[in-house]
Each structure stands twice: as C-alpha cells, then as structure tokens.
Amino acid sequence: MKKVLLMTIAFCVAFVANAQDVPYSKYLSFNKQEFKENHFKYNDETNTWSLNKTNGLNVTLNILCIIADAEEEIRPATNDYSIVVQMGRDEHAANVYVRFYDDETYHKLLTFLIDNGQNLIETSSGKLIKHQAFYGDFSLELNMEQHIISRTSSRTADYKTVKNVDESYNEYTFIINTSVEPWSEYLEKQAAKKAKRDAKGKKKQSIDELM
C-alpha cells in the first residue's frame, strides 16, 4: 500500500513539474471550480471545458460596414482565441487544444519546441506546417495553416467594375496530449456507430489501407 502511495505521489510530482514548464498546460490540472473561476464553459456531452474570445468591436464594425455597403473585415482578430480542454474519465484531463491568430505567440511556442522538445519533427503539406515533439510525459503539436479568402469587394467609383480581393491569414493551433484517454458520451456514441458499421462489413478502406 505504501509503495502504491509513493508511486502515485511521484507521478503527481512529475506531472506538476511538466505542467509548470509547458505553455497552457496549467489547464490540465484545473478542477471544476478553477475552470468556472476562469470563465470556462462545460459541455456535458463532449466532456470538455472551453474558453472563447472574439473581438466584439470587429463584429460591430462589420455589421455597420454591411449596412453602409462598405468592406468589412473578414479575417479573425489577432487577439481572438479558443481553448478547449478534453477530459477523460474520473475528471482527468486528456488534452488541451489552443487555437489563436497571433504571430508572436506562435513564434514563442515554436521557440519552446525547438529549445526544449525531444525528437522534434517538422512536416508540411500545402498551406499547413506542423511541428511535433515530446516533452516529458507530454506529446506536443504546433500547427500553422494559411487561409486564403477570395471575395468580391464593393464596386469602384464608376459603379461598373467590381474589384476582386484576395486576403490571407494564419491560423495557429497548439495541442498538448497526455497519456489519459479522452472520454465523453459523444465519443462513445461515435465509437459505437463505427463498431456497428464495421460489424456490418460496410467499413470503407482508407487510401493508406489500400497500399
């Protein structure tokens, strides 16, 4: 019994030590009260705590632009973000998912991975650049994805020609995975549906499986 207790304490100490070093990992150790105090909202079906910030001023200005037939800002604001903490069973956190649009924050996280990550791997595909690494008991992932928006702007002064505008912005995601298995009613339902399809022999093979 004493041995089990010591192992549990050692695990908790190691977990806390890791959590203190990795950005955003403090949310892995939050309890219900701490989530509520930090304005996170709980979704019972998905078993997640989430925090979202959207620039309200941009939304208001866009509405006014539409009314005035002017060009609205369709890119996310630099300080917009969302944080989702997926829980497992017994109220243990499985992962933290952070989505944001600030270039400086991305470079800080990338620097952390380069300086501290183990077995750092960089891959790219199209407009997506992915960095993956391990840090202690955590598996970390940092993504940068470019989004291009093509739109038709308001008419020019002669009211005959229309300007086409191409705009782009980067969306960043940072993910911390722990050894805890994600669990929710939604995930259970999806797993049950998949098992039912597989049992009926209707599973479609992926392109990798067809190699």
User: Whole-model pTM above 0.85?
Assistant: no
Mean pLDDT of the chain: 82
pLDDT tens string 105-150? 999 999 999 999 999 999 999 999 999 999 999 999 999 999 987 7
As a whole number of angstroms, the distance between CA 25 and CA 35 comes to 13
Instruction: Quote the pLDDT of residue 5.
Output: 46
As a whole number of angstroms, the distance between CA 140 and CA 97 comes to 10
How far, CA to CA in Å, does 201 sit from each of 70, 194, 205, 209?
Answer: 54, 11, 11, 15
pLDDT tens string 144-202? 999 987 766 555 555 555 556 667 899 999 999 999 999 999 999 998 888 888 777 76
Residue 20 CB contacts under 8 Å (≥ 6 apart), including other chains: 26
Residue type, 56: G
How far, CA to CA in Å, does 117 sit from each of 26, 59, 105, 131, 173?
Answer: 18, 38, 17, 10, 17
Instruction: Quote the pLDDT of residue 80.
Output: 95
Count CB neighbours of 45 within 10 A.
Answer: 10
Is a pLDDT exceeding 70 seen at residue 62?
no
Instruction: Quote the pLDDT of residue 211.
Output: 72
Instruction: Quote the pLDDT of residue 200.
Output: 77
CB 163 within 8 A of CB 12: no
